[in-house]
Every structure is written in C-alpha cells, then in structure tokens.
Structure 1
C-alpha cells in the first residue's frame, strides 16, 4: 500500500522527466502558476541564454529543472503542493546581498543567514508561495545575472541594476 505524498515531496519516478500535466497535478494549480510565471520571466528576460535541463537527483531529490549557462542561474524544484527554487550565491552575489540586506524580506534574510557557506557559495532553497515571494526571487536571481532587454535597434543589451 502506497502512502500519500507529504507537502514538499519530490517527483521521483525516474522513467522520464515530468510533463506539464504531471507538474500541475503534483504541484497544484497555485504553485504551478508560479512555476509557469517564473519560466516565462526567464525566457523573456534572457532570450536564447539558457537551455533548461531536467536533472534526476535520485529517490530523495527527484526531478529538478536547471537553468545554467556557464554557471548555474537557478534550479526549479517541483514539490508536492509547492514550488521551491535553488539559488547559489557566490562571493560576489553574497556581497551584493549584504549591501541590500535591509531591503530583503526577513524570511529571506533568515534563510540566507542560516545557509551554510560552501566553497562555491551559499545554497538557498527559496519557497515560492506568493507573488511577493516570486518577485523577491526574481530580484535575487537578477542580482546574479542582470536581465537582457531589447534596445531600440533590436540588439540585446544588459540592463544594470
């Protein structure tokens, strides 16, 4: 007899990466909307920069969708009835985070302060359960890599923050 999944459980069927319907059913409509909105924002803000890559992390970690160019940008974690996003902040990003420490939500600052510093940075797993969470996450990853925007002549330029 199979037990019901708990909030935060991952998709662990390794036969194939989950499709949109599987994600919606697993995450629920609200979390799936945040998932879709984040994917749209990444595609619009970083056209032709990232090729999303499904990773299988085993029975404990399940499937995740990584956005990476030369270094990791972020990894979307579809969890049961929720969405989390893994963001690794290296030395430069940690300095930027600390410069803006008092503009971040107390929840994000606590997550940052409690994260263990590894040689490659602090690994933050940020739960996204509201539009405010999603907007703050966008600010966080934009700090890692400023979004690209189209200039009047159609060429892509980096927008500094």
Structure 2
C-alpha cells in the first residue's frame, strides 16, 4: 500500500525514527491528534502491526472497538476512521460543517457492507479540524468530572 510506512514487523518505529520521518508540520499534527485523543477519550494508544501492506500504526482502542488509527509515514501520516451506518448518517446530517476537501474524500471513499473506511493523509495541523469533528461523530467524548 505505501512503501513510505514502517513496514518491517521486527522494527517498531522509535520516537526518534517517527519524528525524523514525519516532517515538522506533520509531527505537529501527530502530537496534536494524540493530545486530542488523550484529553477526550479513555482509549489508550497501542502500537499495532497491520502487515506488510499497512505497516505499524498507533490505534486508539477500547473494549475491542477501534476509534481511529494513525499510520506514520515519510512527510506525513494517514488516519484511518471506520464509519458504520449510524456514523455515516450523522455525518450526512452535518456534512456542510466539513471542508470541501474532506467532503470530497468522504464521497470518494469506498462503501462497504459494514460502512466506509476513511483513509486521510495528513501533512499538517490544518487538516485536524475535520478529522476531530469526524472522531467526535464516531464517539462522544468522555464525561468530565
């Protein structure tokens, strides 16, 4: 799928490798998206090897359900958000809140029997607004005490 990813099963990327690969703007976005997940959800990040085609990713998962995944790459990273029927309906009701680029990406994503898989290439923090809104549609934030 992407040769710019960390695809060696025996070599999980180190923090140093991550940061040198992502590039400055994408690294900023990577850190911000991790912070967003930490502040709003109880899902713990875990490294996951998705095979030779997908490589290493950090996934936010709880009780067997994945919220989203982040695949580090050269000069960016890709976010995967899997949407079920209810999430697609919720997005459709609010799609005007999203950027034209995001709506185009959503419209062109393949429709599977279990929903849509959104693969979003991130090169900078400017793209995070739409991604965070989509994650918030997928799952409400944890209740603050």
TM superposition score normalised by structure 2: 0.90
Q: Which moved more, 1:75-84 or 1:57-66?
A: 57-66
* 2:57 counterpart SS class: strand
Structure number, greater radius of gyration: 1
In structure 1, stretches of 5+ residues that fail to align are: 1-6, 156-161
The equivalent residue for 1:68 is 61
Q: Which moved more, 1:23-32 or 1:85-94?
A: 23-32
Aligned pairs (5 A) from 1:4-153: 9-46=4-41, 49-70=42-63, 71-150=65-144
Superposition CA RMSD, Å? 1.7
Q: Is the 8 A contact 2:28 2:125 kept in 1?
A: no
CA distance in 2, matches of 1:68, 1:86: 13
**Which has the bigger relative contact order, CA under 8 A and spacing at least 6?**
2
Which aligned runs of 4 or more in structure 1 are off by greater than 4 angstroms? Answer: none
Report how many aligned residue pairs link the two structures: 143
TM superposition score normalised by structure 1: 0.81
